[in-house]
């Protein structure tokens, strides 16, 4: 290789590398700066958590202490330990030793609005609000055809002092009332065409049976009213 070729090779070689743009001190300073930045972020996050916890504590003190959800859970646990919850003094709870708002304190008067309506079945019940179950069963057994005792009504012969029961039948209504011994028979006046029968009971009282026709009609089972009364009376 001659001198000319060597000169060509040296001229084609890359120049020397440029000097570095940073030094070792620059690298150390940047590392410290990044470390300090991370520490600041961690410190700020912990500070926010502390503020949130402190805020809940202050809210609990100002609002009266325990949050409502915890209080409700505590109350439920207390009720479970104490046994079944009793109904409060609301309208659905009968009062002991006094009148209950669920029941009327007045005895219905003769001819009052309670007459003609289906009442509760009760053995030995007097008045125009309840149907006497024993009398209803006995009367249903005497009436022709199938009579459902669940359809019983106090009936037109009901009184505040008598046990009563009646049934709507084709053409009107048949009803009976049993008056105790020594109690006069007092009940509302009946529509025109009503057939009434009376018979002495086994206890010394009186059984009154009425057959009340529908408006403008004939009393149902008019010819059998006396028969029904005589058959029923010995049972009471």
Our CA dihedral for 41, 44, 50, 51, rounded to 10 degrees, sits at -140
CA 191 to chain CA centroid, nearest Å? 42
Give the residue from 141, 137, 183 showing the smallest Cα distance to 162.
183
pLDDT tens column, 53-109: 666 665 554 455 545 444 454 455 555 444 444 444 443 333 333 333 333 333 333
Calculate ∠ Cα 141-146-152, nearest 5°: 70
For residues 161 and 178, what is the distance between their CA atoms, to the nearest angstrom? 9
Would you state the pLDDT for residue 189? 86
What are the structural domain ranges in the chain? Answer: 22-78, 120-235
Across 10-14, 181-185, 209-213, the highest mean pLDDT is recorded for 209-213
- Rounded to two decimals, what is the model's pTM? 0.48
Measured CA to CA in angstroms, residue 225 lies from 144, 157, 169, 203, 231 at distances of 12, 14, 13, 21, 10
């Amino acid at each position: 290789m001659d001198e000319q070729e060597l000169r060509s090779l040296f001229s084609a070689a890359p120049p020397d590398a440029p000097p570095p743009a940073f030094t070792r001190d620059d690298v150390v300073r940047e590392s410290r700066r990044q470390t300090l930045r991370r520490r600041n972020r961690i410190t700020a996050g912990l500070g926010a958590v502390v503020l949130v916890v402190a805020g809940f504590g202050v809210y609990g003190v100002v609002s009266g202490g325990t949050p409502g959800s915890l209080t409700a859970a505590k109350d439920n646990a207390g009720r479970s330990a104490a046994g079944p919850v009793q109904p409060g003094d609301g309208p659905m709870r009968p009062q002991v030793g006094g009148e209950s708002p669920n029941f009327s304190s007045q005895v219905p008067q003769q001819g009052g609005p309670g007459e003609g309506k289906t009442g509760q079945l009760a053995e030995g019940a007097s008045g125009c609000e309840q149907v006497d179950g024993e009398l209803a069963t006995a009367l249903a057994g005497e009436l022709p055809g199938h009579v459902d005792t669940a359809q019983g009504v106090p009936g037109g012969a009901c009184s505040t002092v008598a046990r009563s029961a009646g049934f709507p039948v084709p053409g009107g209504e048949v009803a009976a009332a049993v008056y105790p011994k020594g109690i006069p028979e007092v009940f509302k006046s009946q529509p025109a065409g009503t057939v009434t029968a009376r018979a002495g009971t086994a206890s010394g009282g009186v059984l009154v049976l009425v057959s009340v026709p529908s408006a403008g009609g004939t009393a149902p089972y008019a010819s059998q009213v006396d028969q029904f009364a005589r058959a029923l009376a010995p049972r009471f």
